[in-house]
Amino acid sequence: MAGDTTDLRYNEYRVYVTSVIRDIEATLDLIDIDYDEAINDIEHAYTALFAMDYRQAGPLKFGFDISYSKNPEFDSDMRALFRMNYRFGTGIGI
């Protein structure tokens, strides 16, 4: 990215891997942002996300995400999300 301001000049690298084994889907997403000039003394911003979903036979799907990031705005940021999806109006599996 070649923007007009320092925070808009960077290279972004990303690795995304997903795999399905039977009823479980796992995802790993890694992002690295390499700034041309340091912002708040930070030259690289990182984000790592791991997600896993369990596809139950029928309209239910359970899962969770865990993510960690470090960037010029936050020294570190960790988040977790647990979820349940229900597919209304269908008896088929997800």
Structural domains of the chain, count: 1
1 lies in some domain: no
22-53 pLDDT, tens digit each:
889 999 999 999 988 888 888 889 999 999 99
Q: Residue 91's beta-bridge partner residues?
A: none
Q: What pLDDT was estimated at residue 32?
A: 94
pTM for the full model?
0.74
Q: Is 13 inside any structural domain? A: yes
Q: Note whether 27 and 14 are within 8 A (CB).
A: no
Give the residue numbers spanning the domain of 16. Answer: 6-86
Burial of 56-70, coded b for 16+ CB within 10 Å and e otherwise, reads eeeeebebebeeebb
How confident is the model at residue 27, as a pLDDT?
A: 97
C-alpha 2/C-alpha 22 separation (Å) is 43
Query: Is position 18 within any domain?
Result: yes
